[in-house]
Amino acid sequence: MDDLVKQAMFKWPNVPACFGWLGLDIRGNWYLRDDHAQSAGGFTCGLNSAKGSMLTHGRLIEFINRNYGVDGNGQWYFQNGPQRVYVELASTPWIWRVNEQHCITSHCGHLVEFRKAVSDEYGWIYLETSLGFGLVHSQDVLYASNALANSDWTTVEPICHADIERLYNFQRSPQKRKPI
């Protein structure tokens, strides 16, 4: 996390969190979800209008990537200065890029180590890594398949798509929680 972000959190500790305004798609792209996008439906509903506007500004994306994290409830967020902006996930909190040498990098640019591969009933390939759990980018499925076929990675285990959030302790659509 950036030092300026930490300083802002200390200076303004009670800024309310923001929900529904930022999304991460299955290709690791960030989306700004204005009121119109939010009123069109949930981020994961598959409608283009519900996704919002894809962010393309390089420095903004780098800032989000550096300040991306998770809270104790499995809700992923971007720490924007003193404000937490919770992220709507189209699939998983991490999107993995795999290259020809079977090296794995997160959508935020972190190089990670392979731990385990799983696949759901739809044929999607997910990886457990040193950083956490995520979906293999659709353009890199061939490289992941080659790593499995060559036994560079252990064999893929089956998983039920409906169980992924619970088993890997994350929430695709974070919600504001009432104080206890």
Write the DSSP assignment of 53-66 as a string of letters: EE---HHHHHHHHH
pLDDT reported for residue 110: 97
Burial 8-36 (b: 16+ CB within 10 A, else e): bbeeeeeeeeebbbbbbbbebbbbebeee
Dist. CA 66–CA 84, nearest whole Å:
14
pLDDT in tens, the chain (180 residues): 777 767 766 776 788 889 989 999 999 999 999 888 888 877 765 555 578 899 999 999 999 999 999 999 999 999 998 899 999 999 999 999 999 999 999 999 999 999 999 999 999 999 999 999 999 999 999 999 999 998 888 889 999 999 999 999 999 999 876 554
Q: What is the per-residue pLDDT for 3?
A: 78
Q: Is the pTM of this model over 0.85?
A: yes
Question: Domain segments of the chain: what residues?
Answer: 3-89, 94-167
End-to-end Cα distance, the chain? 28
28 in Cβ contact with 107 (< 8 Å): yes
Residue 120 has a pLDDT of 96
